[in-house]
Amino acid sequence: MIVKMKKLTILVSQKDLGHAIWELRKTGLLHIKPIQKPHADFITSLEHKLALLEKALSFLSDSEKPRRAVPDEVLTSVIKDVLTLKQKEQEFLESSKIIEERLAWVKQLGHISCADLESLESAGLRVKLYKCRKKDLKKIPPDKIIRVIAEKGREIYLVSIGKAGEEGLNFPEVAIPHETLQALERKIHHNQKELAAIKSQLEELSIYKQDLKAYQKELNKRLEFGRVRFSTGLKEEIAYLEGFCPKDSVEKINQSASREGWAVLVEEPQNSGEVPTWIKNPRWVEIIRPVFKFMGTLPGYAEHDISFWFLLFFSLFFAMLIGDAGYGLLFLTTTFLIRRKFKKLPAQPFFLMYILSAGTIIWGALSGTWFGVEKLAQLPVFRSLVIGKINSFSGTNQNFMIQLCFIIGAVHLSIAHAIMVYRFINSRIALSHLGWIGIVWSAFFLAGNLVLGKPLSGFTYFLAIVSAALVILFSSPEKNIIKGIFQSLADFPLKAIGSFSDVVSYLRLFAVGYATVVLAVTFNSMAASSGSGSLLGGFLAAIILFIGHALNIVLGLMAVIVHGIRLNMLEFSSHLNMEWSGIEYKPFKE
């Protein structure tokens, strides 16, 4: 359920603004709406400090040292030291890289001293180093004296020897190292010592990591306070701020206002696009929230909370798409073990997986699917659970499964329009959504005719005509009735075709679920044919079973994301005219 909100405007004297914001934060109820973009040196300074702090934290290793009472100035110094050390570390790393390149050149050239190079130059010869690609070697004139001294991937490093003043090669030139081999090695050793010392110092500073994290939280609170403080409106000596809070919590803010001497204006929100969304449901429905967080979706304030319907149908879609009771048992066991191991993790995802796993086990048992092994379903206990018309190993139930998918789709989409009927129960628009329910079921009968060859009855034509009339007459309740009818008539054909394609799209539940069974059966057959009569064959069979079923599970979970979520987020939600444009309710609190 989307919690009803009220818009509040709070007026205080300018001199009391800071205290008023402090008291508002204590209530923890008001979602602040900025009246102006906050600008202040205080905010800029905090943002800069937080950026440096976040950077410093990323360079420190985790520490189990408990948080202590460390002064802010000490932590500021720690941040500065960490960043300075990392800068020095980067400088030494870059220096070492250059030295190592020079060292590689010297080793390739041999023990040539600077005096040797000067002697060659005085004798009228010059030595130059170049870098090019292998394919560019063909471009070198035949009269040039060259020697390839190193290869790194597609690049070639070469030496060119020629007369002084002679034109060089048309390749990038590399500076000749003038240090001796021993001097370069000493530099490398020095850099390694310095890098080891820096690493040791950073490890010592890691004892402050928990303190820095606490400091980060405190700075974020200060920053949030500052942004609220400098986003308020000001008129003469009166400061004012706007925000939204749950309808049932307005009285608490009024009590604070009476105590502190504020003026509070409480209104119904006029622009639903700026109102934050807070969804509050029973705990058993809240377990679907992780899916919405994963998708990054939130309904707008004027839209619908579909949590219950999403949980109900997503559980069904998950069971049908995975379709194997054996896999369901694996999910259930794995979820239980992980939950037992990591008790501090949020409980919602685990309870959701319990529901999804149980649904998969039930569907798999009813369809006789246990790891794709038909003989398991024929055991006395399991055989009594199988429903013939949805049996995965029956060759005659395809039409029934297709029909079942169409029924699920029609029911699912009808629920969406029924929600709209309830919402607009006092408006003519409700009649248009009754019409859309009729269109959905007309599409259902048409899909049965086109896909399964079922004849269309006279009732179907009657239902389609009456439903179309309701949609065209009442979808656009304009003052000018003729204008409204023509507007609805223009949109109707595409929307009606869309309803038909939406109903048919639920066929994916059968197609993907059946593919999961076929893959399991295929891998079982491969394993059976390779694992007869020898230890090596048995080992190979085990490998095939493990990889095959693991791959099948991964593909099934991907199908749930692609198809199971899509049917709720696209097909179902589009019939509710949802845009998922919500702003999360974030009350200003301590």
Same domain? For 42 and 173 the reply is no
| Range with the poorest average pLDDT among 112-116, 307-311, 389-393 | 112-116
Same domain? For 383 and 286 the reply is yes
CA torsion through residues 459, 462, 466, 469, sign: positive
- Cα gap 401→366, rounded to integer Å: 13
Same domain? For 381 and 286 the reply is yes
Same domain? For 167 and 21 the reply is no
pLDDT of residue 136 exceeding 70 = yes
DSSP letter assigned to residue 384: T
* 80 falls within a domain: no
- Cα gap 471→474, rounded to integer Å: 6
Dihedral (Cα; 483, 486, 488, 494), 10-degree rounding: -150
Under the banding of pLDDT at 50, 70 and 90, the label for residue 8 is: very high
276-299 residue pLDDT tens? 999 999 999 999 999 999 888 999
* 301 falls within a domain: yes
Residue among 467, 466, 443, 446 at smallest CA distance from 456: 446
Same domain? For 264 and 300 the reply is no
Structure tokens at 127: 């030595």
Same domain? For 220 and 146 the reply is no
Same domain? For 163 and 216 the reply is no
**Span 513-534, average pLDDT:** 85
The last residue of a domain, from among 224, 239, 274: 274
* 467 falls within a domain: yes
**Span 166-187, average pLDDT:** 78
For the chain, the average pLDDT equals: 88
* 482 falls within a domain: yes
CATH number, residue 246: 3.30.70.2170
Dihedral (Cα; 546, 548, 551, 552), 10-degree rounding: -110
* 85 falls within a domain: no
Q: Please give the pLDDT value at position 110.
A: 59
Residue whose structure tokens are 């030139």: 173
Q: Please give the pLDDT value at position 142.
A: 82
Q: The domain containing residue 227 runs over which residues?
A: 5-65+210-274
> 107 φ, ψ to 5°?
-65, -35
* 320 falls within a domain: yes
Under the banding of pLDDT at 50, 70 and 90, the label for residue 177 is: low
The last residue of a domain, from among 499, 534, 556: 499
DSSP annotation string for 385-421: T--GGG-TT-SS-HHHHHHHHHHHHHHHHHHHHHHHH
Total of domains in the chain:
4
36-77 residue pLDDT tens? 888 888 889 999 999 999 999 999 988 777 767 788 899 999
The last residue of a domain, from among 161, 179, 197: 179
Same domain? For 303 and 448 the reply is no
pTM: 0.79
The number of helices, as runs of H, and strands, as runs of E, in the chain is: 22, 9
199: left (phi over 0), alpha (psi -120 to 50) or beta: alpha
How many residues in the chain?
590
* 100 falls within a domain: no
Structure tokens at 63: 């520490």
- Cα gap 187→89, rounded to integer Å: 15
In b/e form, how buried is each residue of 170-207, taking b as 16+ CB within 10 angstroms?
ebeebebbebebeebeebbeebeebeeebeebbeebbe
DSSP letter assigned to residue 127: E
Same domain? For 410 and 542 the reply is no
* Cβ atoms within 10 Å of 588's Cβ, excluding its own: 21
Q: Are 228 and 37 in contact (CB under 8 A)?
A: no
* 590 falls within a domain: no
Same domain? For 327 and 375 the reply is yes
- Cα gap 530→207, rounded to integer Å: 57
Same domain? For 489 and 471 the reply is yes
Same domain? For 286 and 214 the reply is no
